[in-house]
Structure 1
Amino acid sequence: MSLPRSSMNMMGFAVCCLCCDEPDVAGSERCRLCIASHAKTRERLSTQATSKADRLAREFVTMLANPIDYNEDSTHGEMMIHYSTLIDAHQGKAPAKTIEEIIAVFEKQKNKKQRSLIRDVANNNEWHDVELSAEQREKMLAKITGERPKHMPTWEELLSEVEKLLEGDEG
């Protein structure tokens, strides 16, 4: 087994290095040949798919780049689990063995904040976590629509109005 070369890792082919039987010598002839071959493959796959074979090759490359997402695949799931295990072992992650470890892994994943570039940029708004008062909302609405804010009754005013209506019905 060889450690993944950074270029192979960036192309999504780290698994190929982890399955390699060549001695772990960076810059060896075999490494250069593999990197060149895989770079050509990635380049070819970046063009428009013209056949079923092209689409299948793209699917396989996608699976290799992130095997954990395909461990439920009916055909390739077993291999994807093997690849995921190789990658995890290389990254120092040991699989959970006890129920407590499994629960801890699930809790960690549940509490992990989902990152989204679009959401992160949108949430840089200074008003993101600010709760405006009714008066501030009305002023802002007036600025947007150009109209004077109308008087919006409070809950107390509405309830007293309902009580007056109910008293009028009784009397």
Structure 2
Amino acid sequence: MDMVMKLGAESPVVIFTKSTCCISHSIETLIRSFGANPKVYELDKLVSNGEMEKALVELLGCKSTSVPAVFIGEEFVGGSNEIMSLNLGSESPVVILSKSTCCISHSIETLIRGFGANPMVYELDKLSNGKEMEKALIELLGCKSSVPAVFIGEEFVGGSNEIISLNVRGKLKKLLLKANAIWI
């Protein structure tokens, strides 16, 4: 793990990827869209591939994937979920990614507004980088539909199924309260 941490400190932004990983490429594109020029290490092209990948799996705390792994300012930030949450979840206590033509997205927005929250809503079909964001979301979520994607309190919560499930179990309001999106 020392080698990973050393490489992670080589540049202001370092991303560990694999040349075949679409999510890694989407995260790299997202980071570059902010004007950063990350140092990118493709594990499948490195000699010490196996050792570094094992260290990254341990660092990420997951069993199946080691990439993407992102370091910013010599500090390990996380993988794709953490980067998406940092990017989108910090702008408002509730952020919803949707499309202007998606009635399910509109219903989820209406449900959340019904609690008194005022979510920041981004309609991907109206954003200049919306197609790239949608592609990253599809890969991140592992499904065909990218919207709605809901972030509450800087955490990616999920799509419509997760939000409706939280509401049915009485946990959506608690989550909105905890994120300071609503008050009693």
TM-score normalized by structure 1? 0.25
Indicate the structure with greater strand content: 2
Bigger RCO (CA 8 Å, 6+ sep)? 2
User: Which of these two proteins has the greater Rg computed from alpha carbons?
Assistant: 1
